[in-house]
């Protein structure tokens, strides 16, 4: 029924309608042919029932004007007018829908806009939509008669889109014209709604009406953030539509000069190519050439793809490069003669930057991260991603999961409740999964044992810890119990322990965040691998030892360097000096924490120097960010901008990525 979507609230006494079964009931409109229509509001009619000397309010069926519900029957005209006004002002309200459903109103009748769910979506009434779905869940998979669109196409905000997606609505369902819900969100300039769709798996490069992708449509909306989001989530910048027009070409046709220059510059930073659409009757080479255009980038034919000559196609962004024609299987153990190590920094929600870097590596290589590396080390958010790699979760899935997870976990004020984070980890890795349930690649997560002084670094492993011959740092203390063995260690607890950042979350038992001692776990991972190999040699298993040949260290973004005015802490003699001391103490405390947890600087220099000394290829990939981003940032716009800066970084360092891919794919 069309008007269902306009039902929102109702007055508090609506439940009293059921106190008398002779007042609320289904009636025939024909019974009121001899009665006067005193008031009429849409489907709601107030009759003066002369034979019964009453005033009756009837709600007429939209599809069957001969039947309806009598909502009340009152003897006094004044009372009837007051109640009618209350009902008419409450049309579209949630309680009204509940009343109708309790009166056995059918909610599976097709109206002009489709089923009732479409009206609920049209007016963004979440409560009404939920009640309708609870009565007829099949409506979320229906198509409206006008556009052939799903209810998701009608979602006007993030809340409504999220509600449908949680109930199983197909995020990539198409309308009669071939458009997805993402196309509609972009056309309507609904950024929040588009982000929800993208983070639930919407295809950012889906071709809709006339072959237009969402990025084609975004070019006319003057919404830079929308364009960034689409490209960050995989939209191709040089895909032509049915008319041969690329998004860049459409951007060049924008009338407003400032907007046109801004968008063209934006696209060029990630390698967008400008070309004219083909002209009828003119060879494609001539029709698409634009030698004099300032954004023209000459495109040469790519060489054949091979392991010895792997090119990143033209100047296209590596993270969106076309996949090679070959798909390599796992080369671990049997074919590779050397080991590869992947190290992932800590950084809270900025782990999205690591995800974006890994997506670029996977797309350029055509191989899953799990099959590119033999060892994976992670701290905090890097530890969660290390476990995701171990359990074969795609990075595209993890990107969407991080966007969704942040709103669940970072709720309220610090320190946050641990429950949502723990539920997320259990849901992703299983409540009873042990670290040793999956053995390859070898994974280590850093944690800080805080039940002793000084605190110690602990590694959560999915393999048995190597036995060392060096003298222990401290004498054994019977009051300190040893950590659980890998075969007894629950995966979700290991992830929770590695990410127990002080002031953000409470400790997980005796464990604090591994970032306190190893926010960049590279050196600790290399030390662990060396000790592991030495243990194999001592046990007579030297044939199992593989030399480390590549170390890839991924960061969560470098914050800009800013000046500090004062770190002086002294005994104050007046209020001015007291304020100066307090400010200095605050800045000094922040500096101490930053120095202890800094994943860059000398930590990177030492790792690079060590690798160079022993002939190991070392790659440190960590984009410079324009602003300082907190570990608990929840703004979609801020995070999309961080991923955009990562995209630009990947394009600018495409030669380094190319070298890395060649080495990773070498046997």
What is the rounded average pLDDT of the residues 656-663? Answer: 93
The Cβ of residue 437 has, within 10 Å, a number of other Cβ atoms equal to: 14
**pTM across the whole model:** 0.79
Nearest CA-CA partner of 469 in 568, 573, 539, 380: 539
d(CA 231, CA 204): 8
pLDDT band at 50 (very low <50, low <70, confident <90, very high): confident
Give residue-wise pLDDT tens across range 226-264: 999 999 999 999 899 999 999 999 998 888 888 889 899
- Determine contact, residues 420/411, Cβ cutoff 8 Å: yes
* Burial status of residue 462 (CB atoms within 10 A of its CB: 0-12, 13-18, 19 or more): buried
Structure tokens at 406: 């942040």
Would residue 220 show up in a list of annotated catalytic residues for this protein?
no
Annotated catalytic residue: which of 371, 513, 524, 636? 513
> Which pLDDT tens digit goes with each residue over 588-643?
666 666 666 677 888 899 999 999 999 999 999 999 999 999 999 999 999 999 99
Q: Which domains does the chain have, with CATH numbers?
A: 20-103 (no CATH), 148-270 (1.25.40.20), 338-469+485-558+600-665 (3.40.1090.10)
Lowest mean pLDDT among 101-105, 150-154, 375-379, 409-413: 101-105
Q: Is the peptide bond before 454 cis (omega within 30 degrees of 0)?
A: yes
d(CA 374, CA 441): 5
Cα(625)–Cα(381) distance, rounded to whole angstroms?
A: 18
Q: Share the mean pLDDT of the chain.
A: 82
Q: Could you please report the per-residue DSSP string of 174-221? A: B-TTS-BHHHHHHHTT-HHHHHHHHHTT--TT---GGG--HHHHHTTT
What's the half-sphere exposure (Cβ side, CA atoms, 13 Å) at 572? 14
Is residue 52's pLDDT more than 70? yes
Q: What percent of the chain has pLDDT over 90?
A: 47
Q: Is a pLDDT exceeding 70 seen at residue 110?
A: yes
How many helices (H) and strands (E) in the chain?
Answer: 24, 12
* Most confident among 200-209, 295-304, 496-505 (mean pLDDT): 200-209
pLDDT for res 645: 96
Which residues have a Cβ under 8 Å from the Cβ of 520 and sit 6 or more positions away? 343, 345, 379, 553, 555, 598, 599, 600, 603, 604, 607
Residues 515-562 have pLDDT tens digits of 888 889 999 999 999 999 999 999 999 888 999 999 999 999 998 877
Q: Which of the following is catalytic: 119, 288, 365, 380?
A: 380
* Dist CA 91 CA 113 (whole Å): 18
Question: Is residue 394 flagged as an active site residue?
Answer: no
User: What whole-number distance in Å separates Cα of residue 143 and Cα of residue 173?
Assistant: 10
Tokens representing residue 262 in the block: 């801004």
pLDDT value of residue 344: 96
């Amino acid at each position: 029924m069309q008007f269902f979507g306009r039902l929102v609230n109702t007055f508090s006494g609506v439940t009293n309608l059921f106190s008398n079964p002779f007042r609320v009931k289904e009636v025939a409109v024909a019974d009121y042919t001899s009665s006067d229509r005193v008031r009429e509001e849409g489907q709601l009619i107030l009759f003066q029932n002369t034979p019964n000397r009453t005033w009756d309010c009837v709600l007429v069926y939209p599809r069957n004007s001969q039947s309806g519900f009598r909502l009340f029957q009152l003897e006094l005209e004044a009372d009837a007018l007051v109640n009618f006004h209350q009902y008419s002002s409450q049309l579209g309200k949630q309680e009204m829908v509940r009343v109708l459903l309790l009166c056995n109103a059918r909610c599976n009748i097709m109206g002009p806009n489709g089923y009732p769910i479409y009206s609920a979506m049209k007016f963004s009434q979440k409560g009404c939509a939920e009640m309708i779905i609870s009565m007829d869940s099949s409506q979320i998979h229906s198509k409206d008669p006008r556009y052939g669109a799903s209810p998701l196409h009608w979602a006007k905000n993030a809340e409504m889109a999220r509600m449908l997606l949680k109930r199983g609505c197909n995020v990539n369902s198409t309308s009669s014209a071939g458009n997805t819900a993402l196309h509609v969100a972009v056309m309507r300039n609904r950024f929040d709604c588009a982000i929800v769709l993208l983070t639930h798996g919407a295809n950012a490069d889906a071709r809709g009406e006339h072959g237009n992708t969402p990025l084609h449509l975004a070019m006319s909306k003057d919404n830079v953030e929308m364009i960034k989001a689409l490209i960050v989530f995989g939209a191709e910048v040089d895909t032509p539509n049915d008319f041969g027009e690329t998004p860049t070409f459409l951007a060049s046709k924008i009338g407003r000069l400032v907007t046109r220059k801004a968008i063209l510059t934006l696209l060029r930073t990630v390698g967008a190519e400008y070309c004219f659409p083909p002209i009828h009757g003119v060879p494609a080479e001539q029709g698409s050439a634009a030698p004099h255009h300032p954004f023209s980038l000459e495109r040469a034919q790519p060489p054949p793809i091979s392991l010895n000559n792997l090119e990143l196609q033209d100047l296209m962004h590596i993270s969106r490069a076309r996949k090679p024609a070959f798909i390599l299987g796992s080369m671990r153990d049997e074919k590779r003669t050397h080991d590869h190590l992947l190290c992932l920094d800590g950084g809270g929600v900025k782990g999205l930057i690591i995800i974006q870097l890994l997506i670029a590596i996977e797309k350029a290589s055509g191989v899953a991260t799990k099959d590119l590396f033999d060892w994976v080390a992670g701290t905090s958010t890097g530890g969660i991603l290390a476990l995701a790699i171990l359990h074969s979760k795609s990075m595209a899935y993890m990107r969407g999961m991080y966007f969704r997870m942040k709103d669940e976990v970072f709720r309220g004020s610090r320190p946050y409740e641990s429950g949502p984070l723990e539920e997320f980890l259990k849901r992703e890795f299983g409540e009873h999964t042990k670290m040793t349930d999956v053995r390859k690649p070898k994974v280590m997560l850093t944690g800080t044992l805080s039940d002793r002084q000084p605190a110690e670094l602990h590694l959560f492993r999915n393999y048995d810890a190597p036995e060392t011959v060096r003298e222990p740092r401290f004498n054994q203390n019977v009051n300190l119990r040893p950590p659980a063995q890998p075969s007894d260690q629950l995966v979700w607890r290991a992830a929770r322990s590695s990410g127990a950042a002080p002031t953000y979350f409470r400790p997980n038992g005796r464990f604090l965040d591994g970032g306190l001692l190893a926010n960049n776990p590279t050196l600790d991972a290399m030390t662990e691998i060396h000790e592991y190999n030495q243990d194999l040699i001592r046990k007579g298993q030297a044939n199992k030892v593989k030399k480390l040949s590549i170390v890839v260290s991924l960061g969560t973004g470098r914050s800009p360097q800013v000046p500090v005015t004062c770190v002086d802490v002294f005994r104050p003699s007046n209020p001015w000096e007291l304020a100066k001391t307090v400010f200095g103490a605050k800045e000094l405390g922040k500096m101490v924490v930053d120095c202890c947890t800094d994943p860059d600087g000398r930590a990177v220099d030492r790792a690079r120097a060590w690798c160079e000394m022993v002939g190991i290829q070392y790659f440190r990939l960590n984009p410079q960010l324009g602003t300082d981003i907190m570990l608990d940032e929840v703004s979609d716009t801020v995070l999309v901008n961080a991923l955009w800066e990562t995209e630009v970084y990947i394009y600018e360092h495409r030669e380094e990525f190319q070298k890395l891919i060649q080495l990773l794919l070498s046997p």
